[in-house]
Structure 1
Amino acid sequence: YTQLTGRQPLPPRWALGNFASRFGYRSKEEVEKTIQKFETDKIPVDAIILDLYWFGKTIKGTMGNLDWDKETFPEPEKMMADLKAKGVKTVLITEPFILTTSLKWQETVDKKALATFKNGTPAVWDFYFGNTGIVDVFKPEGKEWFWAIYKRLINQGMGGIWGDLGEPEVFPSKVMTAAGKADEVHNIYGHRWAQLIAEGYQNDFPTQRPFILMRAGYSGSQRFGMIPWSGDVNRTWGGLQSQMEIALQMGMQGLGYMHSDLGGFAGDYFDNELYLRWLQYGVFNPIFRPHAQDDVASEVARKDIVTKAKAKKSVELRYQLLPYNYTLAYENSTTGLPLMRPLFFEEPQNESLQTVADTYLWGNDFLIKPIVNPGVTQTEVYFPKTANWFDFYTHKKYTGGKKARVKVTEAYIPTFVRANTVLPMTAVVQNTTLYQNNALNFIAYVDGNGVSERTFYFDDGTTPNANTAAQNHELLRANWMADDKKIVLTFSQNETTSVPNVSEKKGTITLYNVAIKPKKITQNGLAIPFQWEAKTKKLTFLYHHNQSKTSLTIVR
């Protein structure tokens, strides 16, 4: 399907990090104090999202200003530059609605940027935010005017774009666009909006990967880099319960980055258990973005001490998984495979799995069971028959092809790893600008004899289309072979591509379920030290890959 409608370009690597986001930050001081709070508490964060207060002090009457309110945000260029120096990107909300009371109204009229009535006059109507017109993204004048706004903001230092209300939220039937009546083009408005932004970046900022957060699109919107979310979901258990199915469905429709406002958006329901469960699910989501109305703090750094400490562990795990998650983004960009995958991807012939959404695969090798009800102490999980699976936290083994009751703790959701496969992890960093491609730790769960091969993707995280140019990326192949006598783990350049030799990699390898102490471990034939714990059956050793091929042999 994505071969037909288009593949999603790689997002910037920082998009896989943690966001600070709420409705909304009302001043430069609020923005800077929020990021300072993350830094003080050593909670990783890569971006802050500014809702509509950046262009006006009131919710109503200011939409369409699309320029900084200098009283509350003086020197916005300096603010964004200071944030960028800390490794934090600034994402700004924009809407296609231009109120008749906004600073840009007359300009859009003069430049013929707006949709019209049949008689050619700018179309106006009332909705929640005020009396409004809408940018006609189907005609050159509308696209040119809108892109000029974005170009100015990007040049000021904006790192990402949030396009809101692009359904469009209110689009009366009598409105006319260059492509037809409102009812005829309603469903492709958001699609064309994303297109004009994507094409603008390609033309004017060809060295930047866009971040385009939008809640409305169409078939093929993924090819413009659209990152959708599920809208203003209720901050309730019911709000959480629907999110897995929404994301899985959208992933199969090409939009692999569907996600939700972690913690829930709407309402004043206060429940730290719900918040933590939502964030624990969010770790294994395409985008990790807590967001909410002001009634209850959305940011991890704004929580009470106990909740913050627990939520911080979810954020840290998100960053530890960055090399694995970035490889999922690469797979999506080259094959169309969603990052979140239904269980029937493992067992296509098993019809009973075709309606299962409460358990899913995160990439190929994680099996995830979110907890979506309060007070849960155990739950049932089906383990795909294609492998045996190990609990990521307790290291308990579960046999594939069977259901099992698993214990549930408040610290994490049930998370399982495919046996006999190698997974890359990394150290926690304050933000992704500090992430190093060469600092990799690997884990694997040993389960008798087995063979597997995995390829991991690396680049600089910013260059557009890096995966299509051999000199701009690298592919590390990890081959696993276990028999009665030994386990051999080999790292090498992926010889099926023209990618140059892999750069240096070093770190720790941890193998679980190693029942007997190895006789020895060698790297390229030379013995190396290791640690083995009889009680936990855990084996650890250091590796250093700095040539075209590295072979590690564990002699049983």
Structure 2
Amino acid sequence: MKFTDGYWQTRRGISPLYAVEVDDVRVDEAAGTMTVYAPTAVIRGRGDTLNRPMVTVTYSSPMPGVVAVDVTHHAGAAASGPAFAVAGSEGFRPVVKVDESAGVLETGGLTVRVHRGGRWRVDFEQDGRLLTSSLPKSVGVMTAESGPQQGTSWVHEQLTLDPAEHVYGLGERFGPFVKNGQVVDVWNEDGGTSSEQAYKNVPFYVTSKGYGVFVAHPEKVSLEVASEVNTRVQFSVEGQSLRYYLVGGPTPKDVLRRYTALTGRPAKVPGWSFGLWLSTSFTTSYDEATVTSFIDGMAERDLPLSVFHFDCFWMREYQWCDFEWDPRTFPDPEGMLARLHDRGLKVCVWINPYIGQRSPLFAEGAAKGYLVRTTDGGVWQWDMWQAGMGLVDFTNPEATQWYLGHLERLLDQGVDAFKTDFGERIPVDDVVWHDGSDPRKMHNYYAHLYNEAVFRLLERKRGTGEAVLFARSATAGGQQFPVHWGGDCDSTYASMAESLRGGLSLAMSGFGYWSHDIGGFEGTPDPGVFKRWLAFGLLSSHSRLHGSGSYRVPWAFDDEAVDVTREFTHLKLSLMPYLGRLADEAHRVGVPMMRPMVLEFPGDRGAQPLDMQYMLGDALLVAPVFTPDGTVEYYVPEGTWTRLVDDAEGSHAATVTGPRWVTEEHGFTSLPVLVRPGTVLPVGARDDAPEYDWADGVTLRCFELPEGHDEVVTVPGGTGEDATFRVRRTADAVVVTTTDAPGEWGVELGGRQARATGAGELRVVVA
């Protein structure tokens, strides 16, 4: 939200108060806080303190490398929930020092320096390096003196940006990956992938300079990213106070590690979830025979399938949600689910948190107070999505258990996962929540309660590490309940690119796993779009074939689409020893599986703005093709990179040396997938399923290892035990030793292989 009219003036009707100077700095050693009292005018004498508003700014630290900042005008405002849950390090206290020149708080290499004397200035430093500053007119309290919002106040902070500094994140945003120059309202909406709206809004950004800012407010947060003051990021919230956290680095990857420690790490997801998911699609006509024909068709064509998803019409129309299989199309759901399990498949079904008036559950939920109420005591309803629908009130523990009880019945029938759709269109006017929550704060936070409830049920019923969602809406902290997908996109090359930008922005917001609808959702893609999207989708963390009014089985497009599906599905499944390690990193340290280039190459200016390519983990560069003729332009960082995928004709050189831009043409069975120099890539012995003993039969493929290279490679076990290998590069060979290999294993170097069984050593001579 903009409060100024150009650089010099305030917008008409807005009365500003700014922190102008420091009057006093007080330290609470027991609490580890430093509180700064800042009058809103220069104080020349005692008389100037009368009738003079003051802003109070308190600095603290919940854990090393993170600073909490609380900006307050009037402290007596009534507190209302919900609030983001934030972790801390038990017993941790920052170091606070105050003298005549400054108040200083130090925490894990991160320093806040509040200058005393002169105009307002606060510097945030990392190991002595200036990250950003709060300068005059940065800390402000704005009040509307006239107009429709008369009497409303906002609190804002502005933090400086360097001229070459890029800003990323703020949730799933489908526009340009670099947010500089944008106006962003953190407010969940069901707006598709072709607008400024987003399903997953996260008030957290990361910059290329190596720090992040988390605005800890679930209500609407308005950001002006170099779009009001060109050299600053402004963030504001309505009310009398503002809390934010400055998260130190020094690299963007370090920032994500700390941010997810603060707000929650992604849960571990089951190995089967990394296989290919196939859906009925949305409004298509289907029954058990249709489903069986799809599954048979995949098997007949050697297209490994892991999950079958039933979209909305597994329930009868107008009765969403009643959680009952439509008896006209699925008369024997328990038998059908058993038959699918017998074929080695997991089953996912679509749900949402809305209860249509024709659902038998509506009257029950209304009578028991399980649906969101209006201020006059009635049930909030509207006709969007389902006629007369109400909204489950997840702030009511009894309503939550009622809702989950119906899902538990489905799990007992044999359902394995839920697609938790919707959760964005949450009302804020004239509604009352069971626990008294502020409706403005519940708008974004609702998605968190909804997904958390369903995810915890799955954990309880299936076990930790076996729960998985396919969720659409989220906000800060929602990364704990994976997986999330990119929402409704068109079936075009442009929408494919929009989806990637959304996924990369979400990755910079702490989300470890991400997927999208292969082929696009709206409309029917032409075969070319579908085949290009297949390669991209099967080189994403999670892969789902899904659409709206048309099926997404590959043979519905052409025979080559079947070949593309087969090739890239087999490739992904063979990479499970590598992908399993990436998934473990996402869970343990909060680094996403799909990574923007800047996350792996923060010091490479050429990599910082890139949003049409990505790193799948730390080792694989992927550049999807977004053109009908197969032309792709991509950037290669420094070093000699080796091609993992190529056309059958071998039309491209086996290696590409950077840093430079490369332009190529690719057929449908190919796209740029390059292996980073210095990589030991574990490749599995199987490519027919995601769940197998990844270490048994593994091949360690070595790429451009420099002399002296020495690392320990851990191959996660999948269904077996982990194995560790020490890989060394001598002057004339690559030497690999292991003491815990579970079975056969091998080493590959430049096309030459050696294999062994169990503990031992292998040596492959460098050509």
TM-score band w.r.t. shorter chain: 0.7 to 0.9
- Contact 1:63 1:98 (8 Å CA) reproduced: yes
Q: Is the 8 A contact 1:332 1:339 kept in 2?
A: yes
Identify the match of residue 490 of structure 2 among 224, 234, 247: 234
Aligned to 1:438: 696
Distance in 1, matches of 2:670 and 2:724, equals 30
Structure 2 counterparts to residues 137-176 of structure 1, below 5 A: 137-167=394-424, 169=425, 171=427, 173-176=429-432
Instruction: Name 1:540's counterpart in structure 2.
Output: 753
1:446-501, Cα deviation, whole Å (9 max, x unpaired)? 4563515253342456xxxxxxxxxxx74433333223322212335xxxxxxxxx
Distance change in 2, residues 1:177/1:226 (3 Å): farther
Deviations 1:326-354 (A, max 9, x none): 11100111111111112223332334422
- Distance in 2, matches of 1:301 and 1:428, equals 24
- Cα distance between partner residues in 2 of 1:234 and 1:417: 31
1:17-56 correspondence to structure 2 within 5 Å? 17-21=275-279, 22-23=281-282, 24=284, 26-56=286-316
Amino acid paired to 1:483: T
Structure 2 residue aligned with 1:106? 363
Given the alignment of the two structures, is residue 210 of structure 1 paired with residue 448 of structure 2, yes or no?
no
- The alpha carbon displacement at 1:255 in A equals 1.0
Matched with 2:18 is none
Deviation at 1:10, TM superposition (A): 1.1
Tell me whether 89-98 or 32-41 shows the greater mean CA deviation.
32-41
Higher relative contact order (CA 8 A, sep 6+): 1
- The structure richer in strand per residue is 2
Q: Is it true that 1:483 corresponds to 2:702 in the alignment?
A: no
**How has the CA–CA distance of structure 1 residues 366 and 433 changed in structure 2, closer, same or farther, with 3 Å as cutoff?**
closer
1:552 has 2:750 as partner: no
**Number of the residue aligned with 1:470:** none
Supply the AA of the counterpart residue of 1:259. Answer: S
- SS of the residue corresponding to residue 360 of structure 2 reads coil
Correspondence for 1:369: 623
CA contact (8 A) 1:300 1:312 kept: no
SS at match of 1:308: helix
Deviations 1:113-168 (A, max 9, x none): 1111113222222213211111001111211111101111111110101111111x
Question: Is the contact made by 1:440 and 1:506 (CA closer than 8 Å) also made in structure 2?
Answer: yes
What is the alpha-carbon distance in structure 1 between the residues aligned to residue 271 and residue 556 of structure 2? 25
Task: Give yes or no for the alignment of 1:3 onto 2:261.
Answer: yes
Q: Which runs of 5+ in 1 are unaligned?
A: 462-472, 493-501, 513-537
| 2:522 equivalent to 1:266 | yes
Whichever residue aligns with residue 509 of structure 1, its letter is V
- Which of structures 1 and 2 has the bigger CA Rg? 2
Report the residue type matching 1:293 in the other structure: S
1:260-303 deviation line (CA, Å, top 9, x unaligned): 111100023x41111111111112211111211233x3123544
**Gap change, CA 1:141 and 1:165, over 3 Å in 2:** same
Question: Which residue identity lines up with residue 278 of structure 2 in the other structure?
Answer: A
Distance 1:208 1:388 in 2: 37
Q: Give 2:560's aligned residue.
A: 306
- Measure the CA separation in 1 of the matches of 2:505 and 2:429: 30
1:242-264 Cα offsets, whole Å, 9 max, x none, are 22221111112111212211110
Q: TM-score, normalised on structure 1?
A: 0.84
Q: Which moved more, 1:142-151 or 1:25-34?
A: 25-34
8 Å Cα contact 1:422-1:442 kept in structure 2: yes
- More off after superposition, 38-47 vs 65-74: 65-74
Q: Distance in 2 between matches of 1:458 and 1:302?
A: 37
Where does the alignment leave 5 or more consecutive residues of structure 2 unmatched? 1-258
Task: Return closer, same or farther for 1:351/1:306 CA change in 2, 3 Å cut-off.
Answer: closer
Output the CA distance in 1 between the equivalents of 2:734 and 2:689.
35
SS state at 2:401 partner: helix
Structure 2 contact 576–694 (Cα < 8 Å) conserved: no
Deviation at 1:72, TM superposition (A): 1.2
Counterpart of 1:509? Answer: 747
Q: Which residue of 2 aligns with 1:255?
A: 511
Which structure 2 residues correspond to residues 64-463 of structure 1 after superposition, within 5 A? 64-167=321-424, 169=425, 171=427, 173-179=429-435, 180-206=437-463, 209-223=466-480, 225-268=481-524, 270-295=525-550, 297-300=551-554, 302-377=556-631, 379-385=632-638, 387-392=639-644, 393=646, 396-433=654-691, 437-446=695-704, 449=707, 451-453=709-711, 455-460=713-718
CA distance in 2, matches of 1:275, 1:483: 46
Contact 1:112 1:141 in 2 (8 A): no
SS in 1 for 2:272: helix
AA partner of residue 312 (structure 2) = L
* SS, match of residue 389 in structure 2: strand
2:747 counterpart SS class: strand
> Who is 1:530 aligned against?
none
More displaced 10-residue stretch of structure 1: 429-438 or 359-368:
429-438
1-side partners of 2:587 and 2:555: how far apart? 32
C-alpha contact 2:472 2:484 (8 A) present in aligned 1: yes
CA gap 1:68/1:233 in 2 versus in 1, 3 angstroms: same
- Aligned partners of 1:330 and 1:457 also within 8 Å: no
What CA distance in whole angstroms lies between the structure 2 residues aligned with 1:478 and 1:244? Answer: 34
Q: Aligned partners of 1:452, 1:381: CA distance in 2, in Å?
A: 30
User: Which SS does the other structure have where 2:331 is aligned?
Assistant: coil
Evaluate the alpha carbon distance shift between residue 51 and residue 435 of structure 1 in structure 2; reply closer, same or farther with a 3 A threshold. Answer: farther
Q: Mark the CA change 1:152 to 1:460 in structure 2 (over 3 Å): closer, same or farther.
A: farther
The answer on whether the counterparts of 2:752 and 2:764 sit within 8 Å (CA) in structure 1 is: no
Give 1:207 deviation, angstroms: 5.6
- Secondary structure of 1:64's counterpart equals coil
Amino acid at match of 1:440: V
